[in-house]
Amino acid sequence: MIFPVLYYDMAMGTIIYAGTFDPITNGHLDLIHRAVVLFSRVIVAVAKNDDKNPLFTQAERIEFITKSINNLPQVEVEGFDGLLVDYFKKRGGQAVLRGLRAVSDFEYEFQLALMNRKMNEKFETIFMMPTETYTFLSSRMIKEIARLGGNVSPFVPSHVEQALRKKLFL
Amino acid sequence: MIFPVLYYDMAMGTIIYAGTFDPITNGHLDLIHRAVVLFSRVIVAVAKNDDKNPLFTQAERIEFITKSINNLPQVEVEGFDGLLVDYFKKRGGQAVLRGLRAVSDFEYEFQLALMNRKMNEKFETIFMMPTETYTFLSSRMIKEIARLGGNVSPFVPSHVEQALRKKLFL
Amino acid sequence: MIFPVLYYDMAMGTIIYAGTFDPITNGHLDLIHRAVVLFSRVIVAVAKNDDKNPLFTQAERIEFITKSINNLPQVEVEGFDGLLVDYFKKRGGQAVLRGLRAVSDFEYEFQLALMNRKMNEKFETIFMMPTETYTFLSSRMIKEIARLGGNVSPFVPSHVEQALRKKLFL
Amino acid sequence: MIFPVLYYDMAMGTIIYAGTFDPITNGHLDLIHRAVVLFSRVIVAVAKNDDKNPLFTQAERIEFITKSINNLPQVEVEGFDGLLVDYFKKRGGQAVLRGLRAVSDFEYEFQLALMNRKMNEKFETIFMMPTETYTFLSSRMIKEIARLGGNVSPFVPSHVEQALRKKLFL
Amino acid sequence: MIFPVLYYDMAMGTIIYAGTFDPITNGHLDLIHRAVVLFSRVIVAVAKNDDKNPLFTQAERIEFITKSINNLPQVEVEGFDGLLVDYFKKRGGQAVLRGLRAVSDFEYEFQLALMNRKMNEKFETIFMMPTETYTFLSSRMIKEIARLGGNVSPFVPSHVEQALRKKLFL
Amino acid sequence: MIFPVLYYDMAMGTIIYAGTFDPITNGHLDLIHRAVVLFSRVIVAVAKNDDKNPLFTQAERIEFITKSINNLPQVEVEGFDGLLVDYFKKRGGQAVLRGLRAVSDFEYEFQLALMNRKMNEKFETIFMMPTETYTFLSSRMIKEIARLGGNVSPFVPSHVEQALRKKLFL
């Protein structure tokens, strides 16, 4: 009943890591570094999300990520507008990657994944966990700390820290 | 900043789907069918777990799964004893697959994943969700229903239903 | 110690199903259909909630529900403004019905129910669950999908879908 | 679109409040008193549950409840063995009542309700909340306190307190 | 291995109870009364939080608290702007006190506490629970009830009730 | 409205850190080290809990802790039997300390704290969080890993590791 396993070293396929990334944090980057070990290609898909009033433009958010992962050739950064399911279909990805940190995350992600699956049966979501030292990180909290003049250097790449400072006139 | 994506159709690598499977349910099988779309090989690793007093022996549990997935050549069923991290290392898998159903699941799985990662840095856990019609299924509940004389045919393969009936002298 | 039960077929009383319903979803309708089996009269009470900036006016939201349940004579649709406890008292309902989907729902509903009970001791909340295929549905997500040009026909009645399309100039 | 509501004072139908009640607590009794306001008949259905090693026999548990609700003619206490769905069908109840206290409760109850609905489409579960001063009560904790010699009189009827003392040789 | 305990009656040190308090509720006051039993000094630190659009100014919020605790000499009320970690450092407090009510609270507080600890290793958070009759209270819900013309007198001190009425032109 | 704060450097009072500690983990020790910064005396109260079939005797568990904290003169280790509220009263502590790790923890601790408060109004519970690298640790998981032959040295003091090995004949 047990078959030989031949292709252990074969890298996995393509995964789409989607989000707003406003801005990218060390927690997101930790997840990307975990994903490239498992998948042959990781597409970081940056949602436009203008209705959420992001602090940074889509172009800025894409640039922050690109700068942060320039040593990872198997990672691609791309913006998208509209529904993730439509982008997923167009890109031909095999699954979408989402990070899980806490229970509230989990519930929202669960709802989102089921809704997306309803709109596209082939839409599969894969969840991974960042290292436990990043379970408390969120882009929202980082922006709040930066607004209040706090030091966000332990939480984001240095070029993101500088951009936050500049954007918030600090 | 965007690179061409060449290998979209390339199947992903090897994933270990570990559990007690006492017995396998339609929810577990749903997850296996989702996994074979994404991974080139799925190893269903059946923990011995004698200290948890399983209803079925490890050999029986392996047999139930093997019978249930005989149309899936890329799935391998195997028993293991001891720690999952040790089995993971021996087998050379790239990640472990776990199913997520509810918040209580999530918390336990989160703890387990972090603890395993502490024992082996390369231990990566990937979570997937069964279809929403199976979010309520658990092996424990199925055994309880069978014990009380209930009909478990909507929840398990027919050969598992018969084995439950026989084991419980129904 | 066991008494004869005489009135099994006697329908239950009046329940108030309150919410914003911006707009009504198939999940809400599933709950209404479940409620009419148990209660002789179901009042769907549509909160004005202008401070929440609903997409549809109260009149539109009432109309959507009325059109959706025109085959259910025991269901009544009505708008209200102000506190639910005051409306509850004025209408003389016996209990308020709320749908439960997820943990975050549960917590909010729990708080709301306790607070309402504090303001009116007779205020009783009854929770029911939609079918599991609707556990992921929320009016908020449906509006987001529609805004992004997605197909919401699996989630809402067709006249609501058309109204969404018209309202959002799609 | 609004129809006249004629039967507001009409009491609701029959509800089955099922559980192990090992033993009945003031929290359970609070729920029963809430239920009799809304339903014309409340059947307290005491599961045998021998495999859970209850402290009290089913007969004792039924007696405790009967003594506690002797001023409520619309409440009936009855034991049952086997599956709740089968009992539900035999008794012809319209819905099952369950108490909700905390998140862990909620999850388990959610699973149970969905599983029961899968076995019998007409199986409907209605959830109600005890008063907030009883949200912390559980039969398990009461037995633990009694075992350690604690005073459980604020949590259970006095005849239950005496029975606990006697059963545990205190 | 057991040492004599000499200083049982020695009061504990200084704790900072931080929040927006927009406005103070009976739940917050319950926690303050619990804290003064344990700590020799309680600093109620009122965050400016202008970006959250508080209903009351920081000065008003400070005044409400000061009026409510005028019989407690060991309580000090103070406004602060900027990051709590910076205020914490400047004030030399030993720990920050936060109230815990529900799971959603817990998660947010957990994240906040870990993030603050990351910015200042000495930042320690201590959680306490209000009495269970206040577990449902939140400043947000109280404002919503007041806006809808509801009676908030069971939830806030009378001078806060009057201020709400005046502020909302009721 | 602001009073001078004179006694910032005054250490806090006595706290009772209660549990089964079967066996003590690095997570427990992390919490003790955090507590001694805030409290002038920390009593580690080891529950007998014979009905929970602990792996180690109460005397062994006390010894493990005593060995682990021999450099902390302000920490006292003591066994107790019976209810924590009774021990609390006898010892004259000001509050009980409990560690919080995850949502399931939180719920159980919340119930326990409210129940204890019901039995003794003066019973106050204070929650603290271990460092995030220990949020996944539990005595139960450590025993399971040790039973399966895993290396528990990153999770417990070395003398506990040796005792586990000896107890489990590894």
Q: A49 exposed, middle or buried (CB, 10 Å; 0-12, 13-18, 19+)? A: middle
Asked if pLDDT for residue A8 goes beyond 60, the answer is: no
Asked if pLDDT for residue C8 goes beyond 60, the answer is: no
Share of chain E above pLDDT 70, in %: 90
Residue D170 in domain: no
Joined together, the tokens standing for residue C32 give: 């209404």
Asked if pLDDT for residue D12 goes beyond 70, the answer is: no
In this predicted structure, what is the pLDDT of residue C10?
Answer: 40
Q: Does the beta-carbon distance from F135 to B114 stay under 8 Å? A: yes
- Report the half-sphere exposure of F29 (CA within 13 A, side-chain side): 20
Higher-scoring residue by pLDDT: D112, E5: D112
Question: Of chain D residues 28-57, which have a CB less than 8 A from chain C?
Answer: 34, 37-41, 43
Mean predicted confidence (pLDDT) in B128-157: 90
Residues A50 and A118 sit within 8 Å (Cβ to Cβ): no
Range ranked top by mean pLDDT from A94-103, D96-105, E111-120, F83-92? F83-92
In this predicted structure, what is the pLDDT of residue E121?
Answer: 87
Give pLDDT tens digits for F140-161.
989 999 999 999 999 999 999 9
Q: D159 exposed, middle or buried (CB, 10 Å; 0-12, 13-18, 19+)? A: middle
Q: Does A82 touch chain E (CB under 8 A)?
A: no
Asked if pLDDT for residue B160 goes beyond 70, the answer is: yes
A88's enclosing H/E stretch is helix A84-91
In this predicted structure, what is the pLDDT of residue B139?
Answer: 93
Chain F residues with beta carbon closer than 8 angstroms to that of E117: 131
Asked if pLDDT for residue D53 goes beyond 80, the answer is: yes
What is the spatial distance between Cα C15 and Cα D10, in angstroms, rounded to a whole number? 12
Q: Which of A97, D160, F125 is nearest to E128 (CA)?
A: F125
Q: Which of A85, A108, A157, F88 is nearest to C150 (CA)?
A: A85
User: Torsions phi, psi of F15, nearest 5?
Assistant: -125, 145
In this predicted structure, what is the pLDDT of residue C103?
Answer: 65
Asked if pLDDT for residue B117 goes beyond 70, the answer is: yes
Q: Does the beta-carbon distance from D106 to C100 stay under 8 Å? A: yes
Share of chain A above pLDDT 90, in %: 61
Share of chain E above pLDDT 90, in %: 61
The DSSP result for chain B, as a single string, is: -------TT--EEEEEEEE--TT--HHHHHHHHHHHHHEEEEEEEEE--GGG--SS-HHHHHHHHHHHTTT-TTEEEEEE-S-HHHHHHHHT-SEEEEE--SHHHHHHHHHHHHHHHHH-TT--EEEE---GGGTT--HHHHHHHHHTT---TTTS-HHHHHHHHHHTT-
Asked if pLDDT for residue C4 goes beyond 50, the answer is: no
Chain E residues with beta carbon closer than 8 angstroms to that of F128: 124-127
Considering only the beta carbons, identify the residue of F104, F137, F147 that sits closest to B107: F104
Average confidence score pLDDT of chain A: 87
Mean predicted confidence (pLDDT) in C114-127: 89
Q: Which domain holds residue C95?
A: 12-135
Mean predicted confidence (pLDDT) in F5-21: 68
In this predicted structure, what is the pLDDT of residue C12?
Answer: 61
In this predicted structure, what is the pLDDT of residue A36?
Answer: 92
Task: Note if B159 is an active site residue.
Answer: no
Asked if pLDDT for residue D103 goes beyond 80, the answer is: no
Average confidence score pLDDT of chain E: 87
Candidates B61, B68, B139, B143; catalytic one: B139
In this predicted structure, what is the pLDDT of residue B8?
Answer: 34
Nearest residue in B to C134, CA atom: B132
Task: Note if C165 is an active site residue.
Answer: no
Q: Does F86 touch chain D (CB under 8 A)?
A: yes
Nearest residue in C to E132, CA atom: C114
What is the distance, to the nearest Å, from the Cα of residue E63 to the centroid of all Cα atoms in its chain?
A: 14
Higher-scoring residue by pLDDT: A88, C135: A88
Give pLDDT tens digits for E121-164.
889 999 998 888 887 888 998 999 999 989 999 999 999 999 99
In this predicted structure, what is the pLDDT of residue F1?
Answer: 28
Lowest mean pLDDT among C95-109, C151-165, E88-102: C95-109
Q: Which of E65, E48, E69, E66 is nearest to E57 (CA)?
A: E48
Mean predicted confidence (pLDDT) in E65-80: 94
Interface test with B, best of D112, D115, D117 (most B CBs within 10 A): D115
Share of chain F above pLDDT 90, in %: 60
Residue A164 in domain: no
In this predicted structure, what is the pLDDT of residue A82?
Answer: 92
The amino acid at E4: P
Considering only the beta carbons, identify the residue of E8, E122, E132 that sits closest to F14: E8
Higher-scoring residue by pLDDT: F152, D115: F152
Give pLDDT tens digits for A66-119.
999 988 999 999 999 999 999 999 998 889 999 987 666 777 787 888 888 888
Q: Does F136 touch chain E (CB under 8 A)?
A: no
Asked if pLDDT for residue A35 goes beyond 90, the answer is: yes
Asked if pLDDT for residue E34 goes beyond 70, the answer is: yes
Residue A122 in domain: yes
Q: Does F149 touch chain B (CB under 8 A)?
A: yes
Q: Does the beta-carbon distance from A14 to B3 stay under 8 Å? A: no
What is the spatial distance between Cα B28 and Cα B92, in angstroms, rounded to a whole number? 23
Residue E140 in domain: no
Task: Note if E166 is an active site residue.
Answer: no
DSSP C56: S
Asked if pLDDT for residue A158 goes beyond 90, the answer is: yes
In this predicted structure, what is the pLDDT of residue E104?
Answer: 65
Give pLDDT tens digits for B83-96.
999 999 999 888 99
Residue D31 in domain: yes
In this predicted structure, what is the pLDDT of residue E12?
Answer: 61
Higher-scoring residue by pLDDT: F126, C7: F126
Residue A84 in domain: yes
Model pTM above 0.90: no
Asked if pLDDT for residue C81 goes beyond 70, the answer is: yes
Higher-scoring residue by pLDDT: A36, D169: A36
User: Torsions phi, psi of C47, nearest 5?
Assistant: -70, 140
Q: Which of A132, F170, A32 is nearest to B118 (CA)?
A: A132
Cis peptide before C23 (omega within 30 of 0): yes
Residue A1 in domain: no
- The Cα of C22 is separated from the nearest Cα of chain B by a number of Å equal to 24
In this predicted structure, what is the pLDDT of residue E4?
Answer: 31
In this predicted structure, what is the pLDDT of residue F9?
Answer: 36
Q: For residue C61, name the pLDDT band (cuts at 50, 70, 90).
A: very high
In this predicted structure, what is the pLDDT of residue B71?
Answer: 82
Q: Does E150 touch chain C (CB under 8 A)?
A: yes
Nearest residue in A to F104, CA atom: A103
Residue E32 in domain: yes
DSSP E123: -
Asked if pLDDT for residue D81 goes beyond 60, the answer is: yes
Q: Does the beta-carbon distance from A110 to C103 stay under 8 Å? A: no
- The Cα of D3 is separated from the nearest Cα of chain C by a number of Å equal to 6
Nearest residue in F to B111, CA atom: F136
- The Cα of F112 is separated from the nearest Cα of chain B by a number of Å equal to 19
Lowest mean pLDDT among B16-25, C121-130, D46-55, F94-103: F94-103
What is the spatial distance between Cα C31 and Cα B38, in angstroms, rounded to a whole number? 36
In this predicted structure, what is the pLDDT of residue D104?
Answer: 65
The structural domain count of chain D equals: 1
Considering only the beta carbons, identify the residue of B2, B106, B124 that sits closest to A106: B106
Task: Note if C28 is an active site residue.
Answer: yes
Asked if pLDDT for residue C43 goes beyond 60, the answer is: yes
Q: What is the CATH classification number for the domain harbouring A129? A: 3.40.50.620
In this predicted structure, what is the pLDDT of residue C100?
Answer: 84
Q: For residue F103, name the pLDDT band (cuts at 50, 70, 90).
A: low
Average confidence score pLDDT of chain D: 87
What is the spatial distance between Cα D69 and Cα D73, in angstroms, rounded to a whole number? 8
